[in-house]
Structure 1
Amino acid sequence: MEIFHDYEVGENCLLIDINFSSKPELNAELSELNGLVHAANWQISATVCAKRSLPDPKYFCGSGKLDEIKKIIDNNQIDLVVFNHAITPSQERNIEKALNCKVIDRTRLILEIFSQRAQTHEGKLQVELAQLNYVATRLVRGWTHLERQKGGIGMRGGPGETQLELDRRMLRQKIAQIEKRLEKVKKQRALSRTARQKNAVPTIAFVGYTNAGKSTLFNKLSGAQVLAKDQLFATLDPTLRKVIIPKLGEVVLSDTVGFIRNLPHNLVEAFHATLEEAIEADLLVHVIDYADEHHRAYIEQVHLVLEQIHAADKPIIQVYNKIDRLEDVKAHIIYHKDKPADVYLSAQTGQGIQFLYEAVAKYFNQQWLKGVLVLSTKHAKVRAELYQLGAVEKETISDSGEYQLALHIAKSDFDEICAHNKLELIAKFSHH
């Protein structure tokens, strides 16, 4: 069943951005829309900006503005209209009918880019799931040409309605199949993480606004060949690499999909399995394009997405990247008492990479406990929890029958076990 089609590379687009706030229009939002369209390999022929207090229920931008857009389309041989907003299926139908032109919204634009970028099996599954969920709300469009009047005795609708129900059922089945396959991927990831935890290998996830230089920094540290282009969503699939951090040892780095402003909630849900690397990581490295004048707004957007995926409380090293593009900014590190350090560097030139190594090593060396914990037999439940975490390296039994557990455990995990069992165990823990 052909539900949707991909748009062609090189299509001529008209961009529409409506400012619904009382604040001055943010050039950053329009700049990002331009970046998204270029990432889809389309050509921008014209841009229309407008202000409204509320979206028009029928045409989103209003009938007067639509007449203006129609003239621009006819004069410039435009193939595609792209809204920098989420529009409803009925608005999309009405606008297409009025303009006699293909119309997509911001969510569909991002899905187009994702479909071009996905390389791995998991990435392709997640794109397909997101597309199917999106199209499910717009399925009626495919059957508007069929009869909808009531039929004869016992009939509740015409053939179009019957076909529509069949396709909805097929969609639901397809979505269920993909969700099952993604659940398998999720379990495989969980097994890999458990193995890493048992080996006490710290995990670090790179997060950040798309195009901040995450993949360039990831490549610099790991020697990986992750695609690093000056383009939004250049990297979609997660990549994991083991690296050696000086004064610390082996860690696992993971590169995740870049975040953007107003990332649609359903896309966050669809890419939850990929973002799990950030959710489950011991430490996040938030890469920031320090040379971008809007970097403060982008930092806020990244924190909003981290809240959406329930990772906002993770410890974060903030990396201010691209200092090579700024005058009078040198590579340096700033330490804090209550949180990990901030690092200023250039992933492109390698300036300041040693400060990032230093910040990571300092964080984990402070936050990991290594030593022997002595437990009485009545605390067998605590012992079991420590084994489940993979924190026990060796165990002996004392002459008095107590457990002597050689541990290598994250302090946060140790604190959580103490709180969960309402115990104060640190007095029984001798550090090595």
Structure 2
Amino acid sequence: MITVKSERFIDTGVSRGPERACLVAVEATNADSVWSVEDSLNELTALAHTAGAEVVGTLRQRLAHPDVATYLGKGRLQDLIDLERQLDCELIIFDDELSPTQQRNLEKALNARVIDRTALILDIFAQHARTREGILQVELAQMEYRLPRLSGQDVEFTRQAGGSRGASGGVGGAIGVRGPGETKLEIDRRRIRSRISELKEEIEDVRRQRSIHRRQREAQAMPVIAVVGYTNAGKSTLFNALTSANVLAENMLFATLDPVTRNITLPNHQEILVTDTVGFIQKLPTKLIAAFRATLEEVVEADILLEVVDISHENAIEQNETVNEILEELEAADKPRVTALNKVDLVDDPDDIDTSLYPNAVPVSALKKRGLDNLMETMARVIAEDMVEIDVIIPYRKGDLVELFHRRGNIEKEEHLEDGVHIVGRIHRALRGYFLSYSNAG
């Protein structure tokens, strides 16, 4: 199926603005996916817009599996060549990751630049990376992606001119070639491998630094909640609403990349740490997950996951499945979880929402700050279930321990006796030792 979204461009000598892109997808008839090709193309369109392209047409084909040489069948490839000429496309974006062979063959057949979903996502990451850690991780993923694609036309590839980082922090230049290596890329395989090794060492340093910070947090025995979810589900907006932070929250895919941690106090006066993390997406490149290992460890090491689901989205269930698949890959799917069913203000009838599909689900509107009290109460309950129960009588001279229990624990009963404060409740395992000598076991 071919879709044309605008008329043929006529060159008037004026700046053409955004790159004109055509999107291509294969609907694999033997694929086991919860996503339809139409939904996947709609998401690819959103990614292209985020990167700065104008989508002028789409083409799709039903095949048992993509052609190993050209992704599309021979006849459909000719249709694509005709579509490219008709719409004057500068960029052809494929919905799956292309093999180096497929990409080379397509570049020979087409007069437009050819990139795949992976390159597009990497380009968006290159635009949005702000911290040293984020920039390093994006560069590593780009280098590992480009290495197998260096071939006999390396000279032409390595001389591609890239964009320069503007005052706003964005990156100029052509989509799919932005990022760390665009300064004419006069490098060969050996130099790329050398740079990959350097990047891995630098990221390992970042990982070690993160580990130190994490141990410091663990020493404070404060429960850690990692905010996870599909990109653009409203994670950062919810994080800001809960923590009064000022994390960038925009209606675009991957608006933020770098994790941010803040402490908040729950309604039961318990202090916890909340970390915002990078959003997930279907067909998230494995190399990207590997490159962002240091960042995603915040998810792996968290005590509780707060998953944000855009309940107003038509693919909310599919997006939740994708999040679960990535959490499985990270070996974090079995962690206790609270689900914020976000954007209820955009749902016609919030009472029709089936909360039973999600663990510990709470309907909220992060933007309107609705349902946040219920969400925090649910978080407190789930955190308490993951703590150890103790019954202690703390002497009055140990008021600091009473105060510690109030800040770090979950109190179910408190009474003042003649010999001290009797507290029944739950406390983080790491703090249990402080209270064992005051046990009221008998």
> Is 1:319–1:343's contact at 8 Å kept on the other side of the alignment?
yes
Q: 2:116 aligns with which of 93, 102, 105?
A: 105
Q: Distance in 2 between matches of 1:82 and 1:340?
A: 37
How far does residue 335 in structure 1 lie from its aligned partner after superposition? 9.6
**Measured at CA, do residues 200 and 370 of structure 1 come closer, stay the same or move farther in structure 2, by a change above 3 Å?**
farther
Superposed CA offset, 1:353-381 (max 9, x none): 001110111122333236589xxxxxxxx
Conserved? CA contact 2:336–2:382, under 8 Å? no
Q: Give aligned-pair identity as a percent.
A: 38
Matched AA of 1:52: L
Q: Residues 222 and 242 of structure 1 are in contact (CA less than 8 Å); yes or no, is this contact kept in structure 2?
A: yes
What amino acid does structure 2 have at the position aligned with 1:263?
L
1:60 corresponds to 2:71? yes
Q: 1:7-406 maps to which residues of 2 (within 5 A)?
A: 10-21=18-29, 25-143=36-154, 167-329=188-350, 341-369=360-388, 371=390
TM-score by length of 2: 0.75
Letter in 1 for 2:60: C
SS at structure 1 position matched to 2:124? helix
Describe the shift of the 1:362–1:10 C-alpha distance in structure 2 as closer, same or farther (beyond 3 A).
Answer: same
Q: Within 2, Cα distance between the matches of 1:361 and 1:331?
A: 26
Alpha-carbon displacement from aligned partner over 1:368-417 (angstroms, at most 9, x marks no partner): 236589xxxxxxxxxxxxxxxxx9xxxxxxxxxxxxxxx98535x799x9
Aligned-partner Cα distance in 1 for 2:30–2:101 = 27
* Counterparts of 1:142 and 1:248, CA distance in 2: 63
| Whole-angstrom CA distance in 2 between matches of 1:22 and 1:340 | 31
> What CA deviation, in whole Å up to 9, does each residue of 1:173-224 have, x standing for no partner?
1111111111111111111111111111111100001111111100111111
Maintained 8 Å contact 1:19/1:52:
yes
SS in 1 for 2:258: coil
Q: Partners in 1 of 2:325 and 2:23 — Cα distance?
A: 26
3-state DSSP of counterpart to 2:188: helix
2: CA distance between counterparts of 1:32 and 1:362?
36
Q: What's the counterpart of residue 421 of structure 1?
A: none
RMSD after superposition = 3.3
Residue in structure 1 matching 2:428, options 410, 414, 417: 410
CA distance in 2: counterparts of 1:15 and 1:39, whole angstroms: 14
Structure 1 unmatched ranges of 5 or more:
1-7, 147-165, 374-390, 392-406, 418-425
For the 8 Å contact 1:242–1:253, the answer to whether it is kept is: yes
Q: How many angstroms does 1:330 deviate by?
A: 5.4
Alpha-carbon distance between aligned partners in 2 of 1:216 and 1:141, rounded to the nearest angstrom: 47
Q: State how many pairs are aligned.
A: 364
Which amino acid counterpart does residue 366 of structure 2 have in structure 1?
A
Structure 1 distance, partners of 2:135, 2:366, is 29
Taking the aligned partners of 1:222 and 1:70, their CA distance within structure 2 comes to 51
Normalised by the length of structure 1, the TM-score is: 0.77
> 5+ unaligned residues in a row in structure 2: which ranges?
1-15, 158-186, 393-408, 410-424
